[in-house]
Chains A and B, each alone.
Chain A
Amino acid sequence: MKTTYREAMRAALRDAMKRDERVFLMGEDVGRYGGSFAVSLGLLEEFGPDRIRDTPLSESGFVGAGIGAALGGMRPVVEIMTVNFSLLALDQIINNAATLLHMSGGQFNVPIVIRMTTGAGRQLGAQHSHSLEGWYAHIPGLRILAPATLADARGMLWTALQDPDPVLIFEHGSLYNVAGELDDDAGAVDIDKATLLREGDAITLITYGGTLPLVLEAAEQLDGEGIDADVIDLRTLRPLDAHTIMDSVARTHRAVVVDEGWRSGSISAEIAARICEQAFFDLDAPVERVCSLEVPVPYAKHLEQAALPSVERVMAAARRAVGAGG
């Protein structure tokens, strides 16, 4: 079936709402407006205002209410328009959702799913272009998902809802319109493992979410230059599937990590460190990283593009790693 990332997300929500009456969607403009990215368009008519619940502009209030509802036995899906607004709800996400199970000595699960849009590339300026998923991946008690493919857009939500712990799903804003083929019977997917999307033997390209398409394109072009790349889609940033990374690095002996977050203290820093800890003697070259430049993301198109990871920067890093110049 031909579909888009947005439609796959919507199908996942519809499916979850039908399968479990405890599931409801809550957030700003998810109802009448149809979702600020049109993900929930039409769901209000189908499920009514109790389950497709518009909220006021109260990120901390409604995220906290979602956590409370999860404690009370519901299965809330809370949508935060974009990751930048999630900062207003950090108290609830980090001080409550992530800690309650542990602090209560295992008595209180928080089975909430929080979805939000992340990423830059649409000329929205610094305050709407953050990629903070790696930051959230710092927090024990949270599970961090970054669906990059149609199959994951369709399948991760249901698995996340089965998880007894809080799950944050980061949807890159540039992916919603991505179209492609999805199996008619596509459904829930595993959220524990990274996937090897492309196999090569010269280098391992590691990425997730919004940068996956450009990494795949870079791999295609590198192939033309005789550099055959493994491409790993991490899918889950916490807990990280280190096995898939190390298995690949053991074969290719080189790695480039591509991450739209800023380099300092990023998820790419964590991955590079783990490769050094766990696969140092497999390496034939230093681990390369392609991240956003360390500036608030600018508005002007040429400046924004220069700040973000690109096919060219990924290719240059790969060439350096294999000693092919560039």
Chain B
Amino acid sequence: MTTLRSQGIPDAEHAVHLLRQMLRVRRLEEKCIELYSAAKIRGFLHVYIGEEAVAAGVMEALEPEDAVVATYREHGHALLRGVSAGAILAEMYGHAEGCCRGRGGSMHLFDAATRFYGGNAIVVSGLPLAVGLALADRMAGRQRVTVCFFGEGAVAEGEFHESMNLAALWQLPVLFCCENNLYAMGTALGRSESQTDIALKADGYEISAWAVDGMDVLAVEEAARRAVDAVRSGGGPHFLELRTYRFRAHSMFDPELYREKSEVTRWMERDPISLLRAAMQAAGQLPEKDWAALQADVDAEISTAVGFAENGTPEPVSELSRFVYSDRPDDASAGGGGPEERGTTAGKGGAAG
């Protein structure tokens, strides 16, 4: 396993960028917890705190035309893929300005402009979709990559194995990123898998797979670039097992009875943000005033986003039955049962931005 220290720090500008990306996710989610506690946002809320290096590192390797599929713990993936913090928060407020016009919520963020395909609340369910997105690219002869994030809990599901097999069988341009944070809700990996080496499972499907220190953003970025390049140049599916840890509970409802505080504390010593920051300081790259300015910058972004969400407008109930079926030019004459069955034609034309 490589570490930040052994690897050396890249140029200062890039290092600051990575630090900023991780900090943006951290601050956004700290705000989410606050807003949740204030009952401004509801539903299931799963934060990514501690795992930021994974999304931050992998996103660096992607091009705008690539696709990203994620799970319900996806605020960070959405943000770093380019969905604005405002659109993410407005979504959690159930506002029309949200990235899914209030129909998705925390677990179902989507964004066509950045090819962000969720936001999936069913463990493993995004893997077949990623395989299909990659299949479409393959059939159309496009050099795009689809990246699919999922937790280690997903590897016990059948769709994981079906997807590995299909992707390898058809040599599809997909990168599987398993975020191994050691727990599926309260179930530790060793209590759910007979074989706990996840990269080895992918290997069993003839997929190039390797494990990476998921707390080390530089190691993640390097591995992701190598994997994405290989996928893009026709090397077939690749697999990264990103060894990471969530510092917070599984969700806002989790009393966290299943793990020792000392374990959490131990992992927090490898906080990916602190780790990079310390390495940069040691290399003389991050004077205290720059760090302060960076924090102020990120805080400003998040507070603007909160303002945007707060001042948004609730998606009108009159729009409730839109997007069950697509708006069609001849919808009014389409046979069937009216608004109970077909989307109403109200407000036709304006899909979410």
Contact = CB atoms under 8 A, between A and B. Distances in A.
Interface of A: 24, 50, 55-56, 58, 60-74, 76, 91-92, 95-96, 100-109, 140-141, 143, 164-165, 192-194, 236, 238-244
Interface of B: 67, 98-104, 108, 110-112, 117-120, 122, 125, 127-137, 139-140, 146, 158-159, 162-163, 165-166, 169, 322-328, 334-337, 341-342, 351-352
Contacts of A242: 336-337
A65 B102 contact: no
A64 B127 contact: yes
Given A73-B140, A74-B136, A244-B335, 13 more contacts: A64-B127, A64-B159, A71-B136, A72-B136, A91-B125, A102-B324, A103-B119, A104-B100, A104-B110, A107-B112, A141-B324, A236-B336, A239-B335
Contacts of A95: 122, 125
Which applies to chain B's interface (DSSP): helix, strand, loop or mixed?
Answer: loop
Contact of B128 (A24, A64, A76, A241): A64
A169 B158 CA distance: 25
Given A62-B166, A107-B111, A140-B324, A92 B139 contact: no
A68 B128 contact: yes
7 contacts: A58-B165, A64-B163, A72-B134, A100-B118, A107-B100, A239-B336, A243-B335
Nearest to A142: B325
Contacts of A68: 128-136, 146
A65 B131 contact: yes
Contacts of A55: 166
Contact of B101 (A58, A62, A106): A106
Contacts of A143: 325
A201 B351 CA distance: 47
Contacts of B104: 103-105
B173 to A, nearest CB: 11
Contacts of A102: 103, 323-324
Nearest to B129: A68
B324 A60 contact: no
Contacts of B118: 100, 103-104
A108 B112 contact: yes
A193 B135 CA distance: 34
Contacts of B102: 105
Nearest to B144: A72
A282 B330 CA distance: 30
Contact of A61 (B101, B165, B335): B165
A156 B322 CA distance: 25
A58 B341 CA distance: 32
Contacts of B351: 105-107
A56 B131 CA distance: 14
A61 B166 contact: yes
Interface centre among A70, A76, A102, A244 (most CB of B within 10 A): A102
